[in-house]
Amino acid sequence: MMFNSGYLLFALPALLFGLYAQFRIKSAYSKYLRVRSSSGMSGFEAAQRLLRMNGLEQVQIGEIPGQLTDHYDPARKTLGLSSSVARSASLAGLAIVAHEVGHASQDSQGYAMLKVRSGLVPIVQIGSMLGPILFMVGLLLQFTPLAMVGLVLFSGTLVFTLITLPVEYNASARALDMLTTSGLVTSREEERGARAVLSAAALTYVAATIQSLANLLYYASILTGSRRR
Ligand SMILES: [Zn+2]
């Protein structure tokens, strides 16, 4: 059941694309983490400057463990920066900091897609937990309607990843804009580097959407296969 033709058709290509996206972000990140930014500002200092520029002094900046764990938390109004981003004066750090400040500015301006995404989180959490269980139980009991309900619940993840795309692309557009207007990025060369990091990061969100769609199609193919038997 687990390795029907749907696996080769949908799940496997999506998985490979996901691995490729991971490879792209990791290599862009490690490449530009070694490129020192001309501003000489650490990620922490750059975050302070960009927040101030956007009138977002109330946002707290904290250091968090891990790599590429940087994020903005709209509920707590905090910016979490990983140590290597916060402490280095790298181009990768600048791009990531500006992207997260981009999310903070979306939040302060009430950017609609961010609101929709935040509202979806609890629904998606329940759906992604219950969906697969209901689906499996429905299959085992050969009760198709239950499996269908599982599939629909599970599809919330796809909706979430789809809404995430404009949110992420918009945050990166804001980031590039901020980096040039603030004078943190001064040359074409630096702009290209920041763009490379942000595009690689965006690719991981595209991969997540494709993966989510592929999973759904894969489950659907299991269902149609089991009904045919
Ligand atoms: Zn983001």
pLDDT in tens, 99-126: 999 999 999 999 999 999 989 999 899 9
Element (DSSP H or E) covering residue 78 = strand 78-82
Residue 77 lies in a domain: no
Residue 173 lies in a domain: yes
**Distance, CA of 88 to CA of 36 (rounded, Å):** 8
The total domain count for the chain is 1
Residue 122 lies in a domain: yes
Cβ–Cβ under 8 Å, residues 28 and 197? yes
Element (DSSP H or E) covering residue 47 = helix 43-53
Residue 144 lies in a domain: yes
Which residues are within 8 A (CB) of 192 and not within 5 positions of it... i.e. 6 or more apart?
none
pTM over 0.75: yes
pLDDT over threshold 90, residue 207: yes
Ligand 1 centre distance from Cα of residue 28 (Å): 16
Determine how β-strand 78-82 pairs with β-strand 60-64.
parallel
pLDDT over threshold 70, residue 228: no
Give the alpha-carbon dihedral of 119, 79, 50, 66, to 10 degrees.
-120
* Rounded (5°) CA angle 165-21-184: 70
Sheet holding 60-64, edge to edge: 60-64, 78-82, 71-73
**Catalytic member of 45, 57, 63, 100:** 100
In this prediction, residue 229 has a pLDDT band, given cuts at 50, 70 and 90, of low
Which segments of 66-187 does DSSP mark as H helices, in order? 83-87, 91-108, 112-140, 144-154, 156-181
Q: For residue range 127-147, list pLDDT tens digits in order.
A: 989 999 999 999 999 999 999
Ligand 1 centre distance from Cα of residue 173 (Å): 11
Residue 52 lies in a domain: no
Residue 62 lies in a domain: no
pLDDT of residue 197: 97
Ligand 1 centre distance from Cα of residue 35 (Å): 22
Ligand 1 centre distance from Cα of residue 38 (Å): 24
Residues forming beta bridges with residue 79, ordered by sequence position: 61, 72
Q: For residue range 25-77, list pLDDT tens digits in order.
A: 999 999 999 999 999 999 999 999 999 999 999 999 999 999 999 999 999 99
**Distance, CA of 155 to CA of 103 (rounded, Å):** 25
Residue 82 lies in a domain: no
pLDDT of residue 225: 82
What is the DSSP secondary structure assignment for residue 37, as one 8-state letter?
A: P
Q: Is 100 a catalytic residue?
A: yes
- If DSSP codes are grouped into helix, strand and coil, which group holds residue 63? strand
* HSE-CB of 198 using CA atoms within 13 angstroms: 27
Residue 19 lies in a domain: yes
pLDDT over threshold 90, residue 92: yes
Ligand 1 centre distance from Cα of residue 166 (Å): 10
CA dihedral for 140, 144, 150, 156, sign (positive or negative)? positive
Ligand 1 centre distance from Cα of residue 153 (Å): 25
Ligand 1 centre distance from Cα of residue 168 (Å): 5
Which residue range(s) make up the domain with 119?
5-36+91-100+110-228
